[in-house]
Amino acid sequence: MSLKTFLADLFFPKFCQNCQKERSYLCEDCFAMIEFLPRSHYKSKNLKLLISASPYNNFIVKKLIAQFKYNPFVKDLASTLAGLIIHQFEQTEYPPPLLAKSGGGQILIIPIPLTRKRLRQRGFNQAEEIGRELSKQLKVPLVNNVLLKTKETMPQVELSKQERIQNVKDVFFCENAEAIKKKTVLLVDDVFTTGSTMEEAARVLKESGAKEVWGITVARE
Ligand SMILES: [Zn+2]
């Protein structure tokens, strides 16, 4: 443990977000109650593969994500949530591009963006915070100035499948396409629901020149 971590823990003790036990945001007992998904076979038109750590209906995962996303935010939970993704990689599979040692500089992490207005309201982009932690742990650069969200969408939960596809159509814009040309992108979000958001973002990235797009999320519905 570094001195900085030691001091931070001393002055701002962490509590398990489920059982309130002191020391970490997720204690060992509660971690043991998280279910991890089997090896993924989910592919789509624009996603090479979707890898999600846990089912969203696992109550601990749901609770962690809610505490991370909704006021009062526990922003630090990003590292716990990214840890679940890394654990999933270790249990099942690392996306092969991450294992190819020749991949230096050819892989990028891109979080699903928020519109500027939404970002101002919340103060942070939850997908970007998780992406940043993954970036640190996987040593893959994160890029947040290529994929932009230019139109506001309605909350997807209230919509039918067809309406969700319409709702996200053309809401993303790729700026500086040169940065992703022929690159492998790990597209990161917190929850994968019907996939329309991720599919649309992946479409824009691929049409702008990305070689392939892998979907990476903490939870999947
Ligand atoms: Zn606990």
Q: Are 107 and 140 in contact (CB under 8 A)?
A: yes
Q: What is the pLDDT, as a whole number, of residue 107?
A: 94
Averaged pLDDT for residues 146-160:
89
* Cα radius of gyration (the chain): 17
Whole-number percent of the chain with pLDDT over 90: 74
Q: Which two tokens stand for residue 154?
A: 């309605």
Which of 64, 181, 184, 37 is closest to 129 using CA atoms? 64
How far apart are the CA of 28 and the centre of ligand 1, in A?
7
- Confidence class of residue 84 from pLDDT cuts 50, 70 and 90? very high
Instruction: Give domain status of residue 142, yes or no.
Output: yes
How far apart are the CA of 215 and the centre of ligand 1, in A?
29
Q: Are 188 and 51 in contact (CB under 8 A)?
A: no
- Confidence class of residue 36 from pLDDT cuts 50, 70 and 90? very high
Q: Which two tokens stand for residue 7?
A: 């001091």
Instruction: Give domain status of residue 16, yes or no.
Output: no
Instruction: Identify residues whose C-beta is under 5 A from ligand 1, the ion.
Output: 16, 18-19, 21, 27, 30
How far apart are the CA of 163 and the centre of ligand 1, in A?
38
Within the chain, strands assigned E span: 49-55, 107-111, 147-149, 172-174, 184-192, 212-220
pLDDT at 81 over 80: yes
How far apart are the CA of 67 and the centre of ligand 1, in A?
14
Averaged pLDDT for residues 166-173:
93
How far apart are the CA of 34 and the centre of ligand 1, in A?
11
Q: Terminus-to-terminus CA distance in the chain, angstroms?
A: 35
How far apart are the CA of 31 and the centre of ligand 1, in A?
7
Helices 59-69 + 77-91 axis angle, to 10 = 140
pLDDT at 103 over 60: no
- Which tens digits make up the pLDDT trace of 42-75? 999 999 999 999 999 999 999 999 999 887 788 8
C-beta atoms surrounding 103 within 10 Å? 14
The number of folded domains in the chain is 1
Instruction: Give domain status of residue 12, yes or no.
Output: no
pTM of the model: 0.92
How far apart are the CA of 162 and the centre of ligand 1, in A?
39
Which of 184, 162, 4 is closest to 110 using CA atoms? 184
Q: Which residues contact 203 (CB under 8 A, 6 or more apart)?
A: 45, 46
How far apart are the CA of 80 and the centre of ligand 1, in A?
13
Instruction: Give domain status of residue 7, yes or no.
Output: no
Instruction: Give domain status of residue 216, yes or no.
Output: yes
Instruction: Give domain status of residue 14, yes or no.
Output: no
Instruction: Give domain status of residue 9, yes or no.
Output: no
Instruction: Tell me the CATH number at 43.
Output: 3.40.50
How far apart are the CA of 97 and the centre of ligand 1, in A?
34
Averaged pLDDT for residues 176-190:
95
Q: What is the pLDDT, as a whole number, of residue 158?
A: 82
Rounded CA-CA distance 70/126 in Å is 10
Instruction: Give domain status of residue 1, yes or no.
Output: no
Higher pLDDT, 207 or 95: 207
pLDDT at 99 over 80: yes
Rounded CA-CA distance 98/65 in Å is 26
Q: What is the pLDDT, as a whole number, of residue 33?
A: 96
- Confidence class of residue 13 from pLDDT cuts 50, 70 and 90? confident
C-beta atoms surrounding 78 within 10 Å? 22
How far apart are the CA of 25 and the centre of ligand 1, in A?
8
How far apart are the CA of 38 and the centre of ligand 1, in A?
24
- Which tens digits make up the pLDDT trace of 210-221? 999 999 999 999
> Residue 84: which domain range?
36-220
Q: Which residues contact 149 (CB under 8 A, 6 or more apart)?
A: 112, 113, 114, 115, 118, 171, 172, 173
Q: What is the pLDDT, as a whole number, of residue 147?
A: 97
